[in-house]
Amino acid sequence: MTATPVSPYQGRPGGENVFARITENVARIAEAPRPPPAWYVAFGISVALLLIFISNLALVAWFGVGLWGTMHPVAWGFPIVNFVFWIGIGHAGTLISAILYLLRQDWRTAISRFAEAMTVFALVCAVVFPGIHVGRPWVSYWMLPYPNQMGMWPQFRSPLEWDLFAVGTYATVSVMFWYLGMVPDFATLRNRAAGPVRRVAYGIAAMGWRGSSRQWHRYERAYLLLAALATPLVLSVHSVVAFDFATSQLPGWHSTIFPPYFVAGAIFGGFAMVVTLVVPARQFFGLASLIQIRHLELMNKIILATGMLVGYAYAMEFFIAWYSGVTFEQFAFVNRAFGPYAWAYWTMILCNLAAPQVFWWKAARTNVWVSLAVGIIVNVGMWFERFVIICTSLSRDFLPSSWGYFVPTAYDYLTLAGSFGLFFTLFLLFCRYLPMVAMAEVKATQPSARVR
């Protein structure tokens, strides 16, 4: 940063003009005739996994959910674990675009587009699972309240029904947020388009954006209002998911700290996923000057902070289980740590509590490879957290004669792996065709944009 920043309206494009440099840096990715070779490799793997996903879903739809290991007493096996995992991933996007916006954290502009895209794709992955878990996916629409001749109406007292509306609202607002932010950038791509196809396609997406001051004024107002509307959604969605568990009487599920604990965990896992995606993307597409080590460090600090919040919830659950004096509560937690699923529990503790502790050191926070490694480890840990909550509690409840042990089948594993295929396919297409960094927003945070 120079002492006297060059005015954004002067200088040669691509030279000392910082605005032009940002546009060039981001737009060239979508305009390049070919993506980097690594993109093809990643896309090939992702599409292969996506095909595995689709074929597994087809098999389950054809033969039934008996293909899974889901069986009494663990009636919520992998599908619900995966659902909660993917829903949680999305939270970082809303937090970055809504809460960090309201908190005036300008650094968010570098990663907001990524995180918002990730939110939308994670939601796509998430909603698949309850849809197939009901067993007859072709009547999944029965979950919706619509007038019908069957005299059927959803059970509104069930948190599972609340989920439908919580996730639906969340998906709607996330898509609107993502799209609204991209409108000025679509207009940039339209203006730079070399051929008619691109010009028309990006032109339709830009919805007649001309960049007039009136349009910018409306845009800023809309963005602020959407941010204010989306902020409660950061809390509400995963709180309702937490209600799915905590409204029950099952020891290990029924805990009043579940809603804020799930939210903290979701932000934790979501930020880890942002780091996991950002590190390779900035490397392959040469975005290091926009998504800087500084941004990585701040994300790692949030991962550390939310990881501590999750640790607080773990500790509080154990303390209250002991303090309550209720035998079943105490057993549920001893069983988690030392029962048949101890391997999953300690995997979770190592990944979620131990691994992020390296971020106490600046050298670790500012190292891309350490960040990437911890990001992946935390994602593994957060998947195991949901597995531990669901499977340990269900497998051993009040009555020892009804205990069991959940063993996932190959279809469970392949569906899980396949959902990553869906996620990464969508994400790689996003990297290829859409503006990966919010150009207009990043420009607004440059020192030279502060015209007084």
Partner 1 sequence: MAKPKQAGPVTPRPGVPNDDVSFDGLAPGVCRIATSAGVALLAVSVGLGATEGDGFRRFLHSYLVAFMYVLSLGLGALWWVTLQHLVGARWSVVVRRIGELLASSMPALAVLSLPIIASVLLESDRLFPWVDPSFMQSQSALAAKRPYLNPGFFVARWAIYFSFWTALGYWLLRCSLAQDATGGTGPLDGARKVSPLAMIGFAITATCASVDYIMTLDPTWYSTVFGVYYFAGCVIAIHSAMVLIVVFLQHRGRLTRSVTPHHFHDLGKMMFAFTVFWAYIAFSQLLLVWYANLPEETVWYRVRSQGSWFFVAVVLVIGHFGLPFFGLLSRHAKRHRASLSFWAGWLLVLHFVDLYFLIMPTFYPGGVSWRVPDLTTWLGLLALFVADVARRARGRNLVPSRDPRLAESLAFENS
Q: By CB under 8 A, tell whether 222 contacts partner 1.
A: no
Contact segment (CB under 8 A) with partner 1 among 88-96, 204-212, 311-319, 434-442 equals: 311-319
What is d(CA 263, CA 128) in angstroms, rounded to the nearest whole number?
Answer: 21
User: Are 353 and 310 spatial neighbours (Cβ–Cβ below 8 Å)?
Assistant: yes
Contact segment (CB under 8 A) with partner 1 among 37-45, 134-142, 258-266, 396-404 equals: 258-266
User: Are 267 and 306 spatial neighbours (Cβ–Cβ below 8 Å)?
Assistant: yes
Contact segment (CB under 8 A) with partner 1 among 173-181, 196-204, 316-324, 334-342 equals: 316-324
Cis peptide before 280 (omega within 30 of 0): no
Q: By CB under 8 A, tell whether 361 contacts partner 1.
A: no
CB of 237 to partner 1, least distance (A): 13
Q: Map residue 71 onto helix, strand or coil.
A: strand
**Number of separate helices (H) and strands (E) present in the chain:** 18, 0
Identify the residue among 23, 255, 335, 419 touching partner 1 (CB under 8 A).
Answer: 255
| Nearer to partner 1 among residue 338 and residue 360 (C-beta) | 360
The two structure tokens encoding residue 434: 């859409």
| Nearer to partner 1 among residue 116 and residue 244 (C-beta) | 244
Binding residues for partner 1, how many (CB under 8 A)?
27
CB of 266 to partner 1, least distance (A): 15
What DSSP line would sit under 94-127, residue for residue? Answer: HIIIIIHHHTT-GGGHHHHHHHHHHHHHHHHHHH
335-to-153, 188, 280, 446 alpha-carbon distances in Å? 39, 57, 39, 54
Q: Map residue 194 onto helix, strand or coil.
A: coil
Q: Map residue 340 onto helix, strand or coil.
A: coil
Q: By CB under 8 A, tell whether 116 contacts partner 1.
A: no
359-to-48, 101, 263, 271, 298 alpha-carbon distances in Å? 35, 24, 21, 14, 10
Q: By CB under 8 A, tell whether 325 contacts partner 1.
A: yes
What is d(CA 197, CA 187) in angstroms, rounded to the nearest whole number?
Answer: 14
Identify the residue among 148, 172, 248, 289 touching partner 1 (CB under 8 A).
Answer: 248
Q: Which residues contact 151 (CB under 8 A, 6 or more apart)?
A: none
CB of 142 to partner 1, least distance (A): 23
The contact pattern for partner 1, residues 65-104, with x = CB under 8 A and - = no contact, is: -------------------------------------x--
| Nearer to partner 1 among residue 122 and residue 264 (C-beta) | 264
Near partner 1 in 223-242, by CB under 8 A: 232, 235, 239
Identify the residue among 192, 198, 199, 254 touching partner 1 (CB under 8 A).
Answer: 254
User: Are 87 and 234 spatial neighbours (Cβ–Cβ below 8 Å)?
Assistant: no
Identify the residue among 180, 257, 293, 337 touching partner 1 (CB under 8 A).
Answer: 257
Q: By CB under 8 A, tell whether 326 contacts partner 1.
A: yes
Q: By CB under 8 A, tell whether 161 contacts partner 1.
A: no
User: Are 112 and 180 spatial neighbours (Cβ–Cβ below 8 Å)?
Assistant: no
| Nearer to partner 1 among residue 258 and residue 430 (C-beta) | 258
Identify the residue among 323, 361, 398, 413 touching partner 1 (CB under 8 A).
Answer: 323
Residue 152: DSSP 8-state: -
What is d(CA 270, CA 382) in angstroms, rounded to the nearest whole number?
Answer: 10
Q: By CB under 8 A, tell whether 360 contacts partner 1.
A: yes
Near partner 1 in 291-310, by CB under 8 A: 308
Rounded to a whole number of angstroms, the distance between the first and last alpha carbons of the chain is 18
Binding site for partner 1 (CB under 8 A): 102, 232, 235, 239, 243, 246-249, 254-260, 308, 312-313, 316-317, 320, 323-326, 360
